[in-house]
Amino acid sequence: MTHSNFTIHITTECDADDIRKVETTAFGFSKEADLVADLLGDETAHPPLSLMARHNGKAIGHILFTLATFNGKSDSPMMHILAPLAVIPEYQGMGVGGLLIRSGIEHLKTMGCRMVFVLGHATYYPRYGFEPGAGDKGYSAPYPIPEQHKACWMLQSLSAEPLSQTGHIRCAQALMKPEHWRE
């Protein structure tokens, strides 16, 4: 199947049911779907970027990026956290996730976002420009990451100019819960 069969669009409230369905189907339970609904309604997550992938009109994938800051400071450079990324099982392994990530990164650049963070699979996200071990680069995760998983906390700079500051990354309130930061 080629990428030309997939379409990507920024979601609206009309996509809420499809987002819930994709998240629940992809993960097999509703925890991520509930988190996405909470994040989309969370003022501290704004401006979010929510993208939906479709194939012949059918919702098959979803990605969400929400605002991140240094220690909750409002004057932080614009940064986002990617969480979650979901692709329904019958479309996994076809490049849908990568298409959502690349499309999201392009949108974030136009929004003025300087850096994106993700806590995810150490072998998957580097394929899309993420550098493992963000904590070792001076960007500690919202919650401590166990030593054996520290490569899973990753970053990608979207700006030619590196950020002058480092520090503790905080995310939207809905995501600032320890259960979202365990493997």
| Domains in the chain: boundaries | 3-181
Global pTM reads 0.94
Q: Is the pLDDT reported for residue 13 higher than 70?
A: yes
Helices assigned H by DSSP within 46-171: 96-111
Over residues 56-96, the pLDDT tens digits come to: 999 999 999 999 999 888 888 999 999 999 999 999 999 99
- CA angle 64–110–56, rounded 5-degree value: 50
Q: Would you place residue 183 in the very low, low, confident or very high pLDDT band (cuts 50, 70, 90)? A: low
Over residues 108-130, the pLDDT tens digits come to: 999 999 999 999 999 999 999 99
Top-confidence residue, 179 or 94 = 94
pLDDT in the model for residue 47: 93
Give me the half-sphere count of Cα atoms (radius 13 Å) on the Cβ side of residue 100: 30
Minimal CA–CA distance to 29: which of 86, 79, 69, 68?
A: 86
Minimal CA–CA distance to 97: which of 80, 118, 112?
A: 118
- Residue 103 token pair: 């499309």
Does the domain at residues 3-181 carry the CATH identifier 3.40.630.30?
Answer: yes
Q: Is the pLDDT reported for residue 153 higher than 50?
A: yes
Q: Is the pLDDT reported for residue 142 higher than 50?
A: yes
Cβ(181)–Cβ(142) below 8 Å: yes
The average pLDDT across 7-29 equals: 96
Cβ(88)–Cβ(66) below 8 Å: no
User: Residue 4, SS3?
Assistant: helix
Q: What is the widest separation between alpha-carbon atoms in the chain?
A: 44
109 vs 27: CA distance, rounded Å: 28
**Burial (CB count <10 Å: 0-12, 13-18, 19+), residue 33:** buried
Q: How would you classify the pairing of strands 49-55 and 6-10?
A: antiparallel
